[in-house]
Amino acid sequence: MVFSSPVFLYIFFPLVWLVHSVIPQKTKNSFLMFASICFYFYGEGFFLVLMIFTISVTFFASLLITKHPKTAFWTAFAGIVINLSVLAVFKYANFFTVQINHLISGFSIRIPEVRLHLPVGISFFTFQAVSCIVDIYRNPDAEKPRFIDTALYISFFPQLIAGPILRYNNFIPQLKNRMVHYRSLLYGIKRFIYGLAKKVLIANTLAVPVDKIFIADPGSLDVLTAWTGAFLFTLQIYFDFSGYSDMAIGLGRMFGLKIPENFNYPLISRSITEFWRRWHISLSTWFRDYLYIPMGGNRKGVFRMYLALWTVFFVCGLWHGASWNFVLFGLFHGSAMILEKGGRSIGLALPGFMKRPVTFFVVMLIFVVFRSDSFSHFLSFAEAMFNPSGFNFPLYVTEMRTMAAWTAGMLFMFPLYRIFEKKLRKNSYANYFETVFLAVIFALSISHSSMMFADPFIYFRF
């Protein structure tokens, strides 16, 4: 169920929120867990069993850790392995069988390819399950886990499909005596509308020219069209994913729960390191806390630090999808970060005025790997980007709606709203203006033609 779909906007969410607001306090968590289960069942049907299995494994592993501290390590290890094994089977089984078949192609042996449906959101709720087990293992004296709390933590529908990835230690304390206050409700509505507008008015509109450019034969693209495609996709994926995160944060606030920020204007970063502190923050901090630091981080010498970075970004790329172009997406970012750190260590650094444009250029180029269907497609597309074969600006990019979308994207990749809010928060007229603005963009969003198709978010496939 897509947040921008009529089923969610007009039926599911209003009904869930109204029931949640009138039932007794002690039943709110149970009801919200039930609603989240229904939300997932609507989209994935039978594969709900898989999420319930993940919840059960996580809960019983957590319970055993608190009850039997002497075997806590092996219990945590088993719980993590089981959860990650489920993810590996459904997401990577076919990828690895294809790679093995390539390696043994000279022999008469061939492993049958396994084509399994990839359950929506499995990467996100699996990482939350791992977070739950690790956090309880690190703090076994904490309050014993409850099944309802664990189930709601893993299945909470606002962020179930595409994050932000929640931390167990941050989420569970909020479940006690949570209240939906008037200001929290208004903030949640505002945040949801901004996220909806990002998705429907900007990302979905930019998807049309982006798809045309990337589906075309790269050999037929002139240099200006290729760069236009790379630039527009960078805007599209940012507003698509940050729009989902905004909606998730807004929905959480409307139920009295704070979901952490996931984006902080990453496209104006001054380095790749800063980019990953601003982009998909919940994922980058997850890898930092559960993989990079346990591997030694920057505490055990330069070689171990670089090895940890490469490992983190290799896994990060593979987490995004079972394809070599996603692996390369991660490794390119890891290599760029290592080059940055190495350059700074010997006194090499870009002049200040070049840092933002160079970082944006690198990020945009690496996103071409992300969008390409294969590595060969990326190479052909990159060749078009650096082959000055012509400068024919594609006419469909100049259509009024498309121009409005990429113009808005260029403006709002900068923290204009933050500046507006800071300077005018004490001005009552500014509040009226924002209320009118929210009403207008909400009306435009729900009347947008793409609403009829309820385009899924890009990160739904991860």
Angle at which helices 324-345 and 352-371 pack, to 10 degrees?
A: 160
3-state secondary structure of 323: coil
pLDDT band at 416 (very low <50, low <70, confident <90, very high): confident
Backbone angles phi, psi at 413, to 5 degrees: -75, -10
Which is the catalytic residue, given 280, 320, 333, 448? 320
pLDDT of 452 reads 45
Cα 220 to Cα 217: distance, rounded to the nearest angstrom: 5
Decide: 125 and 160 in contact? Cβ < 8 Å. yes
Query: Model-level pTM greater than 0.85?
Result: yes
Decide: 324 and 368 in contact? Cβ < 8 Å. no
**Residue 59, both tokens:** 């809960």
For tokens 């104006």, the residue is: 268
Per-residue pLDDT averaged across 4-29, rounded? 91
Cα 153 to Cα 243: distance, rounded to the nearest angstrom: 22
What pLDDT, in 10s, does the model give residues 164-181? 999 998 999 998 888 888
pLDDT of 429 reads 74
What pLDDT, in 10s, does the model give residues 239-257? 999 999 999 999 999 999 9
What pLDDT, in 10s, does the model give residues 224-235? 889 999 999 999
Cα 18 to Cα 14: distance, rounded to the nearest angstrom: 6
Q: Is 117 a catalytic residue?
A: no
Decide: 63 and 133 in contact? Cβ < 8 Å. no
For tokens 């009529």, the residue is: 6
